[in-house]
């Protein structure tokens, strides 16, 4: 697994954040360092994406952690899933793990469910002030209703996966690194 | 021991005399032509010789790499990931199309899959940041025998190392002292000359002398850096009452432009040596120097610049609207302040050739003195300057649009990438207006326009 992964060493953004650290690979990155990336700051979901690098409320991410997050976006290898050793843990860039990454962007409190309130908050991030509260609420209600199957008023990970089963996740959530 | 002494002192004496003679001759050969604006073409010959040596060095390295069967060049000049240049709308539509089997009409709605677009875009920018790339020095495709530009050229044979060592010797032991001596001469002549001219009564003679004193000293400084400059379209040079606008790569830009024309400088008052030079210069002819406190007051700055520009007897102002040094591969957003004044703008494009020495000043990495030392120990500074035809603001244009028009013209001429981003981004946080644009585009997709809403 390790030698198949392309080397992301040059990606670690140690040019940003003038912290003056000489070996940035040791000290790690903080949320503020990542937020300094200009084009990320104009992404409406920029804060959610930065958050995804710091699971469990940590305040720094080291290089292996950074690579683990980026590894979700590796294009899927075209190998027969039946050939894979079932005892080995699923690779980070599998369909399930990509979906789980997207799920976590919605699930603000990390409780495994997207409630109507969380859906509303993420929607508000994406549209800013352009949409009224009523419109947004009706959209959130509709979306949760459509996806919710067990009637608990929230979208669990399984329901999320089911509603996106036809989606070509492998292509849409992959970034190809040029050789 | 006693036998060595007279022998020793003879050698030392001879060495001392020959060095002094050499230095004086060189100074005379370089300063006198500078005063009269004449060139012997020595620098061009020097440049051609260097190019031949670099080509030979690259060949040797390619041969060495081939023998060891490795890749020599790192092909990451334009980004390391494959990006699709599609818009927000198109991408989200595509994502929705690939996810649902129902026919897609144009009714605005929200899908859970929309988040994939923002997610991927965000990750792409973390991997390959367009803006920060502009603030590190440009990478070369072949090695120029300076160890500071040796990023990935590892296959160096013995011959090449000897050549490099010779290069180090020449640059540090011969060129550097020569250049420092020239720079010292140039700056002291400037200070002394302008102070002397300042004692003359105001009039045409004073103007004439001050112009030529400035020009002479800038020319000496140009030779102090071994700058080989090619000027294009000199008929478009800025005139009195105009504003000269150029892209900014390093403080040397000022010397390069001012050695071919007469300009009034704009800037903040500094302390130390810079302060002395500034005070001396303003005695000979009017430059615009601002105190630290005045710089924040935009109206005051605009007023003083307007006053200067309206007085046709004063020289054209030289200004760099990017506000910061960029690495000369692109032009960043021009600040609109100088374009609101209403003067004729004379755009100038400056493009450096990084093969002989990288002129970009990375102010977060190097201080001014380190930077100047690096400049003086490079082979040479080679650049091209294009004088573009003058532009004025049109009636239906506002300052920002005018600034962008000028910026595009400069980028096009210099072969630089025309970027929307603000150079201040390397220090400050991004303005929210850019994020709002993205949010506006996305809202249209999920709720439609105002007209659609009122209808339903």
Verify whether the Cβ–Cβ distance A168 to B116 is below 8 Å.
Answer: no
In a domain, B343, yes or no: yes
Q: How many domains does chain B have?
A: 1
Q: For residue A72, how many other CB atoms are within 10 A of its CB? A: 22
Verify whether the Cβ–Cβ distance B113 to A164 is below 8 Å.
Answer: yes
In a domain, B133, yes or no: no
Choose the closest CB to A164 out of B79, B112, B434.
B112
Please tell me the predicted confidence (pLDDT) of residue A145: 85
B82 SS3 class:
coil
Verify whether the Cβ–Cβ distance B446 to A139 is below 8 Å.
Answer: yes
Please tell me the predicted confidence (pLDDT) of residue B387: 94
- What is the layout of strands, in order, in the sheet containing B242-246? B227-232, B381-387, B344-353, B242-246, B317-319, B264-268, B288-290
Verify whether the Cβ–Cβ distance A127 to B75 is below 8 Å.
Answer: no
Question: Two tokens at B304?
Answer: 């003083």
Task: Report the DSSP beta bridge partners of residue B347.
Answer: B245
- In chain A, the domains with their CATH numbers are 25-77+91-172 (1.10.238.10)
Please tell me the predicted confidence (pLDDT) of residue B175: 84
- pTM exceeds 0.80, yes or no: no
Verify whether the Cβ–Cβ distance A41 to B429 is below 8 Å.
Answer: yes
pLDDT tens digits, one per residue of A19-78: 333 333 445 667 776 666 666 777 788 888 888 877 777 777 777 877 788 888 888 776
| B18: confidence class by pLDDT, cuts 50, 70, 90 | confident
Please tell me the predicted confidence (pLDDT) of residue A18: 28
Where are the alpha helices (H) located in B69-175, listed in sequence order?
A: 88-99, 115-127, 158-169
Q: Which residue has better confidence, B158 or A11? A: B158
In a domain, B29, yes or no: no
In a domain, B304, yes or no: yes
CB B143 within 8 A of CB B54: yes
Q: Residue B202 above 50 pLDDT?
A: yes
Please tell me the predicted confidence (pLDDT) of residue B58: 77
Q: Residue B267 above 90 pLDDT?
A: no
CB B380 within 8 A of CB B227: yes
Choose the closest CB to B116 out of A39, A44, A172.
A172
CB A143 within 8 A of CB B110: yes
B269: Cα within 13 Å, side-chain hemisphere: 12
Question: Two tokens at A74?
Answer: 């590796």
Residue of B108, B122, B425, B452 to mutate when probing chain A, most A C-beta within 10 A: B122
Task: Kindly state the percentage of chain B with pLDDT values over 70.
Answer: 80
pLDDT tens digits, one per residue of B277-333: 888 888 888 888 888 888 777 888 888 888 888 888 889 999 888 877 777 777 777
Please tell me the predicted confidence (pLDDT) of residue A148: 84
A176: left (phi over 0), alpha (psi -120 to 50) or beta: beta
Verify whether the Cβ–Cβ distance A131 to B443 is below 8 Å.
Answer: yes
What does the pLDDT average to over B219-235? 88
Q: For residue A128, how many other CB atoms are within 10 A of its CB? A: 17
Domain with B245 in it: 227-425
pLDDT tens digits, one per residue of B98-126: 766 555 556 667 777 788 888 888 887 77
Please tell me the predicted confidence (pLDDT) of residue B21: 82
Q: Residue B216 above 80 pLDDT?
A: yes
Where are the alpha helices (H) located in B128-175, listed in sequence order?
A: 158-169
ipTM exceeding 0.90, yes/no: no
Please tell me the predicted confidence (pLDDT) of residue B346: 93
Give the lowest-confidence range in A98-112, B94-108, B442-456.
Answer: B442-456
For B429, the closest chain A residue by CA position comes to A36
Residue of A33, A37, A113, A168 to mutate when probing chain B, most B C-beta within 10 A: A37
Please tell me the predicted confidence (pLDDT) of residue B386: 93
For B115, the closest chain A residue by CA position comes to A102
Please tell me the predicted confidence (pLDDT) of residue A2: 32
> How many angstroms separate the CA atoms of B258 and A172, rounded?
53
CB B357 within 8 A of CB B376: no
Verify whether the Cβ–Cβ distance A175 to B132 is below 8 Å.
Answer: no
Give the lowest-confidence range in A10-14, B136-140, B234-238.
Answer: A10-14
Verify whether the Cβ–Cβ distance A128 to B436 is below 8 Å.
Answer: yes
The sign one gets for the Cα dihedral A83, A89, A93, A97 is positive
B55 SS3 class:
helix
For B130, the closest chain A residue by CA position comes to A39
pLDDT tens digits, one per residue of B411-438: 888 888 776 665 555 544 555 667 777 7
In a domain, B302, yes or no: yes
Q: Residue B453 above 90 pLDDT?
A: no
In a domain, B265, yes or no: yes
In a domain, B48, yes or no: no
- How many A-B residue pairs are in contact by the CB < 8 A criterion? 161
Is B118 in CB contact (< 8 Å) with chain A?
yes
Choose the closest CB to A43 out of B116, B121, B131.
B121
In a domain, B312, yes or no: yes
| B451: confidence class by pLDDT, cuts 50, 70, 90 | very low
Verify whether the Cβ–Cβ distance A175 to B124 is below 8 Å.
Answer: yes
């Amino acid at each position: 697994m390790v030698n198949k992964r392309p080397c992301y060493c040059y990606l670690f953004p140690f040019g940003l954040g003038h912290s003056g650290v000489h070996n940035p690979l040791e000290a790690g990155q903080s949320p503020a360092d990542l937020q300094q990336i200009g084009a990320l700051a104009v992404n409406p979901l920029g804060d959610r994406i930065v958050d995804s690098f710091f699971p469990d409320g940590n305040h720094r991410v080291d290089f292996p952690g950074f690579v683990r997050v980026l590894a979700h976006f590796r294009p899927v290898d075209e190998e027969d899933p039946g050939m894979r050793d079932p005892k080995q843990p699923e690779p980070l860039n599998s369909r399930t793990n990509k979906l789980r990454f997207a799920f976590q962007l919605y699930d603000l409190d990390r409780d495994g469910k997207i409630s109507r309130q969380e859906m509303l908050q993420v929607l508000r991030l994406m549209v800013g002030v352009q949409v009224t509260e009523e419109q947004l609420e009706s959209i959130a209600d509709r979306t949760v209703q459509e996806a919710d199957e067990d009637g608990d008023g929230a979208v669990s990970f399984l329901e999320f996966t089911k509603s996106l089963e036809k989606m070509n996740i492998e292509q849409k959530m992959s970034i190809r690194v040029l050789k | 021991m006693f036998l060595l002494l007279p022998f020793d002192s003879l050698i030392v004496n001879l060495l001392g005399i020959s060095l002094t003679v050499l230095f004086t001759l060189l100074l005379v050969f370089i300063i006198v032509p500078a005063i009269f604006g004449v060139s012997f073409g020595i620098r061009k010959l020097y440049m051609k010789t260097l190019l031949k040596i670099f080509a030979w060095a690259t060949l040797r390295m390619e041969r060495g790499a081939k023998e060891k069967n490795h890749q020599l060049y790192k092909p990451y000049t334009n980004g390391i990931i494959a990006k699709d240049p599609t818009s927000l709308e198109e991408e989200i539509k595509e994502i929705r199309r690939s996810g649902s089997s129902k026919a897609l009409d144009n009714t605005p709605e929200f899908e859970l899959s929309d988040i994939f677009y923002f997610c991927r875009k965000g990750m792409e920018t973390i991997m390959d940041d367009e803006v920060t790339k502009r603030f590190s020095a440009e990478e070369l495709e072949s090695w120029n025998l300076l160890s500071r530009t040796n990023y990935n050229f590892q296959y160096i044979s013995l011959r090449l190392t000897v050549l490099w060592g010779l290069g180090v010797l020449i640059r540090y032991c011969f060129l550097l002292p020569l250049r420092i001596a020239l720079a010292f001469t140039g700056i002291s002549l400037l200070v002394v000359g302008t102070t002397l001219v300042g004692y003359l009564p105001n009039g045409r003679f004073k103007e004439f002398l001050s112009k030529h004193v400035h020009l002479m000293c800038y020319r000496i400084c140009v030779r102090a850096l071994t700058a080989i400059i090619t000027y294009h379209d000199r008929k478009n040079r800025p005139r009195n009452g105009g504003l000269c606008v150029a892209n900014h790569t390093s403080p040397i830009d000022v010397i390069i432009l001012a050695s071919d024309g007469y300009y009034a400088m704009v800037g903040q008052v500094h302390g130390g040596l810079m302060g002395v030079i500034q005070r001396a210069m303003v005695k000979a002819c009017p430059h615009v120097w601002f105190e630290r406190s005045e710089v924040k007051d935009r109206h005051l700055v605009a007023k003083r610049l307007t006053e200067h520009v309206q007085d046709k007897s004063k020289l054209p102002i030289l200004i760099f609207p990017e506000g910061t040094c960029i690495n000369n591969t692109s032009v960043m957003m021009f600040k609109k302040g100088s374009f609101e004044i209403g003067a004729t703008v004379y755009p100038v494009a400056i493009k450096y050739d990084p093969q002989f020495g990288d002129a970009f000043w990375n102010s977060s990495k190097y201080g001014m003195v380190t930077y100047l030392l690096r400049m003086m120990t490079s082979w040479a500074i080679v650049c091209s300057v294009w004088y573009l035809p003058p532009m004025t603001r049109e009636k239906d244009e506002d300052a920002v649009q005018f600034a962008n028009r000028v910026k595009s013209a400069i980028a096009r001429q210099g072969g630089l990438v025309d970027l929307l981003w603000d150079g201040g981004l390397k220090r400050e946080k991004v303005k929210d207006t850019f994020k709002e644009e993205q949010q506006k585009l996305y809202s249209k997709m999920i709720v439609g326009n105002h007209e659609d809403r009122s209808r339903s």
